[in-house]
A and B are shown apart, each in its own frame.
Chain A
């Protein structure tokens, strides 16, 4: 039912997409810091919302939700270990982060599935 392999693939590919995206925008240095954060959020959790239903066809929403949580936890751990920011002492920020990431991923997954359904229907016609 729940494909663990698909779940790991989603996380891995999303991380690669973020690395590539941040490298490109960092290399060209065209966006302000706020826009970098905003667009990185959209790209990372948007890719989770698209890739999770692709590799977890039977449980797309569970996969998108779980992948978004894991991605957020990876971000939190990265902030703590690499950037030395004590994010865990701010539970409200953690909640905002988890809430926004899961909601955005679920919305993207929903839109992706609806678009796929419509394309499938048009192909059948």
Chain B
């Protein structure tokens, strides 16, 4: 179990997802791809869309910084509107993915049980917390064995 799931410091995950304005969430999914594929090769997490989302979020951050100097007020409003529409798509992708991760982890380990409401509010932070718990449990079991 310890080989499959990767442990990450929770406070770093929380801090990075806030500081990077959500870009880290995309990176988190892509970095966990190998772990999830080891659990079940036929998982339903749309990693290709996460690549697109991560690239878009990075570009959007750059454009919104540069846009202040380059675009007119109408251009900025249009950029805001486009960002809003894509943010809703991003939310759809995020919530679809985290509930697929929930199913994957619960299928993999009987001791992992994710609360759907906590998952809704804390998304990848809660998943990472549960993954860390599973890794620690695995390490403790190895020591006692």
A residues adjacent to B (C-beta < 8 A): 1-2, 59, 61-62, 65-66, 69, 72-73, 76, 87-91, 94-95, 98, 102
Contact = CB atoms under 8 A, between A and B. Distances in A.
B41 to A, nearest CB: 14
11 contacts: A2-B44, A65-B91, A66-B89, A66-B92, A66-B96, A72-B85, A76-B85, A88-B81, A94-B81, A98-B88, A102-B88
B95 interface: yes
A6 to B, nearest CB: 14
A1 B78 contact: no
B44 A91 contact: no
- Counting contact residues on chain B (CB < 8 A from A), the size range is 10 to 19
B74 interface: yes
A62 B95 contact: yes
A1 B100 contact: yes
Interface of B: 44, 74, 77-78, 80-82, 84-85, 88-89, 91-92, 95-96, 99-100
Contact of A89 (B44, B78, B91): B78
Contact of B96 (A59, A87, A88): A59
A87 B84 CA distance: 13
Contacts of A59: 96, 99
Given A1-B44, A2-B96, A65-B95, A90 B89 contact: no
B88 A69 contact: yes
B80 A91 contact: yes
B92 A69 contact: yes
Contacts of A89: 74, 77-78, 81
Contact of A62 (B74, B81, B85, B92): B92
A65 B77 contact: no
A72 B95 CA distance: 19
Given A1-B44, A2-B44, A89-B74, A94 B85 contact: yes
B103 to A, nearest CB: 9
